[in-house]
Structure 1
């Protein structure tokens, strides 16, 4: 008898228990009761065949041993392919194997094998992990200035995160395409304050974004800023990064350059770089300076001068958010956001403001409690996928979170 590398069962994707390439880190939340199981795929190395994994909840709780992950293998028996979880107990078809264990409740308890070092895992598998990490973070957030995530399609490649439909580009692309024509009021109220509200909300939920920049904030056709790209984000108030990782130096706080440590205050520093981008119409921070030169200058205390024509209040905001000591730096509450809100725009750009009203959406964080009427009206125009699209995603086995 020899092991074989045959194709997966053709009807595997039709099984209600099939969850495609879902990583094991996300299994526990979907298996609520003891005895619940799912079928999924795994590929430890690029050269390895994809294996079918049966993940079973064998005990309540969040302990690592509460979920068992059993590899279903194949072998040839007299020119026929048999399927097995235990070496001496095989079945002529995968369906027979599943039916037997479900109907008899016979425990599957193969001897545990040592998992290979993560460094040997395929690049594609690491990408899947990164993507699922991003999805796990985003599923908790519901704020008008943060892109909404609905679920993850994991049944086959490419994996897809299903997010809110945002028509428009990033703030950076909008600044550059409309260079010199964007009213100062829009830069203050829509781009800067909208981002401040979103970041304040994330900080109130204990999230360090770690990549705040104009390129990572989407800007809708109705002029609503939405923070996106959570690939580097971490939960908690402090995160120690490995020295070998690449970071966007021009948006990085001096203490992070020195100690590779991120906090909520390092997001504040990056937010002030974004403010500079907004009022410079999308210019490159620090001009043509290299990353090494930028690191040296910022660590020595250099800060960029405010772009010409900044409204009153914005230069002070930049100065306070760029404090070298993070303990002296403003936080994303009434200090930073309030200063943006009070920023004065040139009279040529002023127009009568509607009476503020309470937002109907989440009021977590400090900046979403007083939207103007037109802002709340535009807020209701957030583009959600129509019902037929949601049905489509359900058929594609989207994991709705």
Structure 2
């Protein structure tokens, strides 16, 4: 989806929501499910909430991220002062509950979170100098925030980093016919806070992207568990699996694969975004197209300092990253070169026969893997240039895409028209 998916609904739509909310009174039934309210965003993290709140008084209701042994609470997040720094601009007010009553402070309690919201939306309450919070505009769920009832799980495809990956049918309201999709499922009891952040980080990046060589993103369902991430279904699944099942692929097909991956990574770097986990296992293949996926480690910008004490993909890391933890676009270029080696070697593990510690040592000493002899000599040179010791000497992804287009005599598609 394009970056415009961050925009709020039209003013007339928001006004209708405001009017409907203000009709509610404190007799609001406690059985009313808050999931039905468009201002309720489930487990949407703070980082995503801040992107939705544009003007003072904009608000959403969400639920806290789970912590072991702790009960979850509803949270009212409201933009207090958009001129303040990020952490101070938004108030996150816990909606306390006990004995089927809900409150923010000890002054008033209500029979439901909805009744509480309706009360604080009243103009008379907003004008009180002592008002604990001033609510002006409820922010509705965005097109990429899906409802679980729109998604039907059909068949398990495999196991991902967060849980099962399944084939399913996606059919939102208004769609005449459902579409086949891939659904990543995440069960929160099996995820730590970092994993939840990683899951939502992937969604945050994917929802702003649109390119033929980037996996298409439909949205996330976070109103209840398990969390769902819904993406296009690639007919041949993960690229590494496809390569292993088809070891006799012609070299021309493999040439197409590395060029398509180059186009995808070139697009990411133009945004600018660092993927940080480029590998055959993190690409999909379907309809004769490579599509980069798995954006859990992706970061916005052109540089990033990695924590080398965490688990890292040693076999795909550039020399400077192994030494200093510094990650740049040229480190993505290095990883791209490793992925090209995988593609021409039917996805066997890079640096075969070596342990991670040996890979670390050998790469620092200048060792580089050999490209199969049946690969075009100029393509071999392009791949080897990805592994130059000095990051500044490596080509950009735009350089690589241009080189491969020329070598394979492949015209560049007009991506803006696709």
TM-score (norm 2): 0.73
2:40 equivalent in structure 1: 18
2:284 equivalent in structure 1: 218
Q: Deviations over 1:168-197 (max 9, x none)?
A: 2122111111112x12111112x1100011
Measure the CA separation in 2 of the matches of 1:162 and 1:172: 21
On the 8 A contact 1:40/1:53 being kept in 2, the answer is yes
Measure the CA separation in 2 of the matches of 1:262 and 1:203: 13
Q: Deviations over 1:202-227 (max 9, x none)?
A: 1111111111111111111x211111
Report how far residue 156 of structure 1 moved: 0.9
Measure the CA separation in 1 of the matches of 2:245 and 2:39: 48
User: Greater shift after overlay, 125-134 or 320-329?
Assistant: 125-134
Q: Is 1:149 aligned with 2:172?
A: no
Measure the CA separation in 2 of the matches of 1:237 and 1:42: 31
The structure 1 residue matched to 2:318, chosen from 253, 259, 271, is 253
Q: Are the structure 2 counterparts of residues 43 and 276 from structure 1 closer, same or farther at C-alpha, using a change threshold of 3 Å?
A: closer
On the 8 A contact 2:303/2:329 being kept in 1, the answer is yes
On the 8 A contact 1:206/1:235 being kept in 2, the answer is yes
User: Greater shift after overlay, 236-245 or 163-172?
Assistant: 163-172
Measure the CA separation in 2 of the matches of 1:207 and 1:272: 18
The structure 1 residue matched to 2:380, chosen from 315, 318, 335, is 315
Measure the CA separation in 1 of the matches of 2:80 and 2:391: 47
Q: Deviations over 1:92-111 (max 9, x none)?
A: 4444322221224343259x
Which segments of 5 or more consecutive residues in structure 2 lack a partner in the other structure? 1-29, 135-189
Q: Deviations over 1:62-87 (max 9, x none)?
A: 633332111111234xxxx3221112
Q: Are the structure 2 counterparts of residues 169 and 316 from structure 1 closer, same or farther at C-alpha, using a change threshold of 3 Å?
A: same
The structure 2 residue matched to 1:203, chosen from 266, 269, 285, is 269
Q: Secondary structure at the match of 1:91?
A: coil
Measure the CA separation in 1 of the matches of 2:370 and 2:112: 70
1:100 equivalent in structure 2: 119
On the 8 A contact 1:60/1:66 being kept in 2, the answer is yes
Q: Are the structure 2 counterparts of residues 123 and 217 from structure 1 closer, same or farther at C-alpha, using a change threshold of 3 Å?
A: closer
Q: Aligned runs of 1:297-336 on 2, under 5 Å?
A: 297-334=362-399, 336=400
1:185 equivalent in structure 2: 252
Q: Secondary structure at the match of 2:397?
A: coil
2:5 equivalent in structure 1: none
On the 8 A contact 1:28/1:62 being kept in 2, the answer is no
Q: Is 1:167 aligned with 2:239?
A: no
2:163 equivalent in structure 1: none
Q: Deviations over 1:332-391 (max 9, x none)?
A: 123x223323446xxxxxxxx89x4752x328xxxxxxxxxxxxxxxx7xxxxxxxxxxx
Q: Which runs of 4+ in 1 moved over 6 A?
A: none
1:337 equivalent in structure 2: 401
On the 8 A contact 2:45/2:65 being kept in 1, the answer is no
Which segments of 5 or more consecutive residues in structure 1 lack a partner in the other structure? 1-7, 111-121, 345-352, 364-379, 381-401
The structure 1 residue matched to 2:350, chosen from 274, 277, 285, is 285
Q: Is 1:65 aligned with 2:65?
A: no
Structure with greater Cα Rg: 1
2:164 equivalent in structure 1: none
Greater length-normalized contact order (CA 8 Å, ≥ 6 residues apart): 1
1:27 equivalent in structure 2: 49
1:362 equivalent in structure 2: 416
Report how far residue 123 of structure 1 moved: 4.7
Q: Deviations over 1:122-147 (max 9, x none)?
A: 95333222222222222222111111
Report how far residue 9 of structure 1 moved: 5.4
Q: Secondary structure at the match of 2:82?
A: coil
- Aligned-residue CA RMSD in angstroms? 2.5
Q: Secondary structure at the match of 1:38?
A: strand
Measure the CA separation in 2 of the matches of 1:62 and 1:128: 27
Measure the CA separation in 2 of the matches of 1:62 and 1:169: 46
On the 8 A contact 2:43/2:65 being kept in 1, the answer is no
Q: Secondary structure at the match of 1:18?
A: coil
